Amino acid sequence: MPTPASGRGFLWLSLVLSSVCVALGSETQANSTTDALNILLIIVDDLRPSLGCYGDKLVRSPNIDQLASHSLLFQNAFAQQAVCAPSRVSFLTGRRPDTTRLYDFNSYWRVHAGNFSTIPQYFKENGYVTMSVGKVFHPGITSNHTDDSPYSWSFPPYHPSSEKYENTKTCRGPDGELHANLLCPVDVVDVPEGTLPDKQSTEQAVQLLEKMKTSASPFFLAVGYHKPHIPFRYPKEFQKLYPLENITLAPDSEVPDGLPPVAYNPWMDIRQREDVQALNISVPYGPIPVDFQRKIRQSYFASVSYLDTQVGHLLSALDDLQLANSTIVAFTSDHGRQSMDLVELVSLFPTLAGLAGLQVPPRCPVPSFHVELCREGKNLLKHFRFRDLEEDPYLPGNPRELIAYSQYPRPADFPQWNSDKPSLKDIKIMGYSIRTIDYRYTVWVGFNPDEFLANFSDIHAGELYFVDSDPFQDHNMYNDSQGGDLFQLLMP
Ligand SMILES: *[C@@H]1O[C@H](CO)[C@@H](O)[C@H](O)[C@H]1NC(C)=O
Ligand SMILES: *[C@@H]1O[C@H](CO)[C@@H](O)[C@H](O)[C@H]1NC(C)=O
Ligand SMILES: *[C@@H]1O[C@H](CO)[C@@H](O)[C@H](O)[C@H]1NC(C)=O
Ligand SMILES: *[C@@H]1O[C@H](CO)[C@@H](O)[C@H](O)[C@H]1NC(C)=O
Ligand SMILES: *[C@@H]1O[C@H](CO)[C@@H](O)[C@H](O)[C@H]1NC(C)=O
Ligand SMILES: *[C@@H]1O[C@H](CO)[C@@H](O)[C@H](O)[C@H]1NC(C)=O
């Protein structure tokens, strides 16, 4: 396994947002291009904290763990909406979904909501060479079919050519035929083009780093990996790391009694895969056969380990090119299942700007549709330890004052075919959720998609879970808390 970047790397490891690692040198606040820090932003698709650095005992992720070991790792980082396109547009613009007005896959914020600046655009405007490799913006109309070019990037973004096979019939089933399966360990020499998208992205990113080695300008390189998003299409040798007999079942796979039906995600995307279809699993609640549950977990973990080796190659290149000591590495997922302080992905923009010594965009007014450059998140600079500075500016806030906000749309009160990903016009209900260190509190309220208006007096359902006594969120206390007791329950 390659050894990832050592030295003064920085990184912001983030899962559902999760982490930031940084060791800042004293020269980092300078503002001349000669000693400006480069940025390597690694974005992973659907990675939850199934990593050694988050205490997972089964998953092998030595490269990411090593990155985390000299980084600031966020333990409680939350995405603003757990869907690829809305989440990415939110954290890349530093605005919440209610400001980007993107809850689905069908609009481009610059024409639909406001001409908001993006993180790479801001670095580009400050003299950086900005480059995109793989899935950074969600492809399609949400980034105007160009990954927001030319605004965000100095060159046209790179997409791996083998990406087009991700959802095609390239998985060898027990019947010897090729299928479009959920579980898809492959022999890489046998697949179309003899490679996989994330391998190609790593190769391209390494080539760009080599070019940047001699560049007079600092760089901002964003690398977006596709795995471990479904389908689990990965080199089959990674499966051997996880013998089926060693795979435990999810600790809490039952649907909790007190869960309001509007909150349930019927995982329609998974049901469309050929191997899952063959199981004839009842809609919407399942269950999935226990053997298959184990296989899903095996392939998810194998995909994470495959991803981890790609991250290892990338960080080794940064080391070999002697760029590690002048590059801030930020690592994040667009979402995953949620697992120090609470932070939100929307804070990535002001934090990266602050770490690089650029002016931190001002706080957004409300509303802020007319303002191109402002931040809805926080500058998390104070979380980073300045190892080389005598004075330690780490000033933890009062954790009880911290809140992370998320939201999720639904087309109906009961699970149906489009519950996971309703189009804007079909959104009837919006779930607004706050997470504090003590509890998660969610209200599902009426939503008008023409006006983008939530009606908080039209409450469809509510959820309240206490973090310490109910970590898996099995006991919904919302109804117990009605009639005036809620305030008392939530008092710290
Ligand atoms: C949106 O912002 C970009 C980048 O600053 C700028 O080039 C463009 O003219 C703006 N578009 C509008 C309609 O204001
Ligand atoms: C989106 O792309 C189209 C086609 O390339 C282009 O004409 C249009 O100006 C782009 N939109 C913005 C806001 O740049
Ligand atoms: C599987 O579990 C056994 C028993 O705990 C252990 O000895 C073995 O190392 C495990 N295999 C792997 C690949 O983790
Ligand atoms: C699928 O399951 C339903 C009900 O659970 C049953 O009625 C149906 O016959 C099954 N179909 C197949 C092909 O097994
Ligand atoms: C980074 O390390 C390289 C090689 O060790 C060295 O030449 C260079 O001066 C260092 N840069 C900084 C900013 O410390
Ligand atoms: C650094 O320089 C750029 C371009 O001259 C300027 O826009 C930016 O505000 C400066 N940043 C700081 C922190 O002074």
pLDDT tens-digit profile of 368-399? 999 999 999 999 887 775 544 334 344 445 66
**Which stretch of DSSP H or E encloses residue 472?**
none
CA-to-CA separations, 93 to 10, 222, 224, 364, 367, in angstroms, rounded: 22, 14, 16, 12, 15
Region 463-470: mean pLDDT is 95
Whether the CB of 38 sits within 6 Å of ligand 5: no
Q: Which atom of ligand 2 is nearest to the CA of 151?
A: 14
CA-to-CA separations, 73 to 54, 167, 204, 370, 384, in angstroms, rounded: 9, 33, 27, 34, 10
* Fold of the CATH domain 12-393: Alkaline Phosphatase, subunit A (3.40.720)
CA of 289 to the centre of ligand 4 (A): 14
393: cis peptide before it, omega within 30°?
A: no
Residues pairing with 466 in the sheet: 439
Predicted confidence (pLDDT) at residue 249 exceeds the cutoff of 90: yes
325 secondary structure, DSSP code? G
CA of 400 to the centre of ligand 4 (A): 50
- Give pLDDT, residue 397: 57
Q: Provide DSSP, 446-471.
A: EEETTTTEEEEEEEEEEEEEETTT-T
pLDDT bracket for residue 482 (50, 70, 90): low
Locate the domains of the chain by residue range. Answer: 12-393, 400-490
CA of 115 to the centre of ligand 1 (A): 6
- Give pLDDT, residue 10: 37
| 69-95: pLDDT as tens digits | 988 888 889 999 999 999 999 999 999
Chain centroid to Cα 430, Å, comes to 21
Residues pairing with 133 in the sheet: 158, 223
For atom 6 of ligand 5, the residue with the nearest CA is 322
* Whether 112 is catalytic: no
Q: Which atom of ligand 5 is nearest to the CA of 27?
A: 13
For atom 12 of ligand 1, the residue with the nearest CA is 115
29 secondary structure, DSSP code? G
Taking the domain 400-490, which CATH number applies?
Answer: 3.30.1120
For atom 3 of ligand 3, the residue with the nearest CA is 246
Q: Find the range with the poorest average confidence among 136-140, 266-270, 336-340, 377-381.
A: 336-340
* Close Cβ partners of 91 (under 8 Å, ≥ 6 residues apart): 17, 79, 80, 119, 332, 334, 345, 346, 348, 349
Distance in angstroms (rounded) separating the CA atoms of residues 330 and 351: 10
* Whether 21 is catalytic: no
Q: Which two tokens stand for residue 412?
A: 């109906």
In one-letter notation, the amino acid at residue 352 is: L
| 414-461: pLDDT as tens digits | 999 999 999 999 999 999 999 999 999 999 999 999 999 999 999 999
Q: Find the range with the poorest average confidence among 12-21, 107-116, 153-162, 247-256.
A: 12-21
Q: Provide DSSP, 104-169.
A: SSS--HHHHT-----HHHHHHHTT-EEEEEESSSPSSGGGTTTTTTTTS-SSPPB--GGGGGTTSS
Q: Is the dihedral of CA 46, 91, 101, 148 positive or negative?
A: negative
- Is it true that 12-393 and 400-490 share their CATH fold? no
Helix (H, G, I), strand (E, B) or coil at 281: coil
* Close Cβ partners of 237 (under 8 Å, ≥ 6 residues apart): none
49: cis peptide before it, omega within 30°?
A: no
In one-letter notation, the amino acid at residue 184 is: C
More confident residue, 333 or 159: 159
343 and 74 Cβ atoms separated by less than 8 Å: yes
Whether the CB of 144 sits within 6 Å of ligand 2: yes
Q: Which atom of ligand 2 is nearest to the CA of 115?
A: 13
- Give pLDDT, residue 330: 95
Predicted confidence (pLDDT) at residue 17 exceeds the cutoff of 60: no
- In angstroms and rounded to an integer, the radius of gyration of the C-alpha atoms of the chain is 22
In one-letter notation, the amino acid at residue 377 is: G
The mean of the pLDDT values for the chain is: 88
CA of 358 to the centre of ligand 6 (A): 6
Predicted confidence (pLDDT) at residue 32 exceeds the cutoff of 60: no
- Give pLDDT, residue 336: 56
CA angle 84/220/104 to nearest 5° reads: 15
For atom 8 of ligand 1, the residue with the nearest CA is 115
Distance in angstroms (rounded) separating the CA atoms of residues 404 and 433: 8
Q: Which two tokens stand for residue 417?
A: 């075919």
Torsion region of 144: left, alpha or beta (phi above 0 gives left; psi -120 to 50 gives alpha): left
| 182-229: pLDDT as tens digits | 999 999 999 999 999 999 999 999 999 999 999 999 999 999 999 999
CA of 110 to the centre of ligand 1 (A): 8
Could you give the count of Cα atoms lying within 13 Å of 320 in the half-sphere of its Cβ? Answer: 12
Predicted confidence (pLDDT) at residue 464 exceeds the cutoff of 80: yes
Of the residues 21, 53, 84, 364, only one is catalytic, namely: 84
